[in-house]
Structure 1
Amino acid sequence: MNGAGTAAMAGQVVLVTGGAPLLTGLMRQTRAVLEGRAGAGIAQPWRDVRKLLRKRPVSPAGTGPAFRAGPLLPAVTAAVIAALVPMASTVTPVSGSADLIVVVALLALGTVALALAGLDTGTAFGGMGASREMTVAALVEPTILLAALALSVPSGSTNLAHIVGDRIHDPVRLASPSGLLAIVALAVVTLAETGRLPVDNPSTHLELTMIHEAMVLEYAGPDLALVELGAQMRLAVLLGLLASLAAPWGIATTTAPGAVVIGLVLFAVKVVVLGTGLAVAEVFWAKVRLFRVPELLAGSFLLALLSVTASYFLTGE
């Protein structure tokens, strides 16, 4: 292992951490332009973080360690996922540990941390948001695991580096029925995991509809800045994971410095394209009723189940 693999891993983490707020700003600006508004600018999320960091943190009376750890764990787990997922290179110091099931577990850890923080406040909003978040998570996690199983069957491994590498060297798998079904299922659960339309509306504070916002209403100052940064990083890493599995072109499979640089550039381009496309789609989407969300996620679960069935039939196992 030379320095190129380490540079690729570090570059992924830096791009996700530094570029996630810019990606959110780009998506907001895209929506603003399409809706006929001026918009606050692409750099507004970073300005919001800077403003919040200058304020004093305030903790509600009676809260404990769960509330204080709530903002930290989602951001830390997102950074670890950014290092594990082969978004720019499949040859990194942690490529042997880049298991898709580990990634799902890290996502669940961040979700549970925020849910416990919402419950720790003892408020009606916190408990409501936590219960809704865990309901969504209970439907999302099995779908991700089934989609991971469908993608791992042709490769014979749940290691992301092996899966992405096989999809690069065998492009036919990108258009296989099992692969397409798994990617569509992952795309749907990505919307649920990141609280985007039509599952949740990240720009609303209406108590009848909000899920993520209800859990973080008690945070202020640097804690709120970390919560917002963690949510933006989760969006970036999930879009990066989706891009790596659906369009792995350009990801370096060697330790050549030039290939790593190209991989990092293309990783940023693919995430920007996916984020912009999602923002455009959200202009035309309406939020579904909360009681219809399980139906949507059940549909994605069915797609993942069909992808597993198709993968076993196509491989003859």
Structure 2
Amino acid sequence: MSALGIVGGVLQAALVIAGSPLLVGWMRQIRARLEGRVGAGVAQPWRDLRKLFGKEAIVPAGTSEVFRFTPLVLVGSTLVVAAAIPFVTDASALGPGADLFAVVALLAMGTATLALAGLDTGTAFGGMGASRATTIIALVEPSLLMAIFALSVPVGSTNLASIVHSALRNPAQVLSPASLLAAVALLMVTVAETGRLPVDNPSTHLELTMIHEAMVLEYSGPDLALVELSASMRLSVFLGLLASLFAPWGIATSLAPVPLAVGVVVFAAKVLVLGTAVAVGEVFVAKLRLFRVPELLAGSFLLGLLAVAASFFLSRQP
């Protein structure tokens, strides 16, 4: 753990908390414009959160502490991941703790906890959403591990800071066939993990299609605000992970004010560009049937597996 990593972790956590609702608002605004609508404005998610924080939280009868503490677990685990992954600086606030397996486990813990909260309510919608979310996470996490593990093979370490630092020293490594395959796999994982089209539709409440919304129907007030905030934070984290691993340029390597400022601006710009690309793509795709989602995620796992194989093969070339 270094001073650069601690400063970077604080900056990253603050950026993810403050900017994630704005990212969601920007993506909604892009979709609205492309669909011929005016849209509610980029700052609308923050206005919704402010309204929810001012309301009273109503806890359903019969629920346990799992339901009550899930919003805090979601925000806390996502915040730790946001501080651990090298977004703004090439050093991590957690040092050796910023390991691939630890980060993926934290992300999976948030999804699993939300699924348990959906089951804890005892409602049909909650159980349905938890079942669907569990199916998706069982298919997504192996693909996520494979995609990032392919990048760790030439580095010889599963530490994310080491992977980013190696990519900064050797830019040609990012353009290798293994990296390109891993990038496509990670993009598919991002779409599935964050509940975007074609896997899930974040703007619907139709019981036949919703996954994330089915698990949070019983939340209200500040609890619902924390759940929605954590969902937007996870989107920023996954897009930031994609940008840092495959486009690490602009990341600060020193504690000087100018490199840190450049790192903050570049990170925000990269996430905004990726969010715009995802929003534009959603306009031109339809939601998949639930039984077709495993086929898509199996494709992402296959791409990740090919990336690992290609990475091992290329690393042994003279």
Bin for the TM-score computed over the shorter chain: over 0.9
Matched, 1:264 2:275: no
| 2:146 paired residue number | 146
> Does the aligned pair in 2 maintain the 1:115–1:129 contact within 8 Å?
yes
- What's the TM-score once normalised by structure 1's chain length? 0.97
SS at match of 2:255: coil
Matched, 1:278 2:281: no
Matches within 5 A, 1:159-198: 159-198=159-198
Q: What amino acid does structure 1 have at the position aligned with 2:11?
A: G
Structure 1 CA distance for aligned equivalents of residues 3 and 138 of structure 2: 40
> Does the aligned pair in 2 maintain the 1:78–1:107 contact within 8 Å?
yes
Q: What amino acid does structure 1 have at the position aligned with 2:30?
A: T
Structure 2 CA distance for aligned equivalents of residues 145 and 29 of structure 1: 32
SS at match of 2:154: helix
Q: Report how far residue 240 of structure 1 moved.
A: 0.4
- What's the TM-score once normalised by structure 2's chain length? 0.97
> Does the aligned pair in 2 maintain the 1:199–1:287 contact within 8 Å?
yes
| 1:135 paired residue number | 135
Structure 1, unaligned runs of 5 or more: none
Q: What amino acid does structure 2 have at the position aligned with 1:14?
A: A
> Does the aligned pair in 1 maintain the 2:7–2:93 contact within 8 Å?
no
Q: Report how far residue 224 of structure 1 moved.
A: 0.5
Provide the aligned C-alpha RMSD in A.
1.2
Task: Encode CA deviations 1:197-219: one digit per residue, 9 max, x unaligned.
Answer: 00000001111111000000001
Structure 2 CA distance for aligned equivalents of residues 213 and 92 of structure 1: 33
**Fraction of identical pairs, as percent:** 64
| 2:31 paired residue number | 31
| 1:226 paired residue number | 226
Q: What amino acid does structure 2 have at the position aligned with 1:189?
A: V
SS at match of 2:251: coil
| 1:86 paired residue number | 86
| 1:217 paired residue number | 217
Q: What amino acid does structure 2 have at the position aligned with 1:39?
A: G
| 2:238 paired residue number | 238
| 1:306 paired residue number | 306
Task: Encode CA deviations 1:80-124: one digit per residue, 9 max, x unaligned.
Answer: 111000001012442332111111001001001100000000000
Number of matched pairs: 317
Identify which range, 69-78 or 242-251, moves more after superposition: 69-78
Q: What amino acid does structure 2 have at the position aligned with 1:65?
A: E
> Does the aligned pair in 2 maintain the 1:165–1:253 contact within 8 Å?
no
Runs of 4+ in structure 1 displaced over 6 angstroms? none
Identify which range, 258-267 or 288-297, moves more after superposition: 258-267
Task: Encode CA deviations 1:23-60: one digit per residue, 9 max, x unaligned.
Answer: 00000011111111111000000000011111110011
Structure 2 CA distance for aligned equivalents of residues 103 and 4 of structure 1: 20
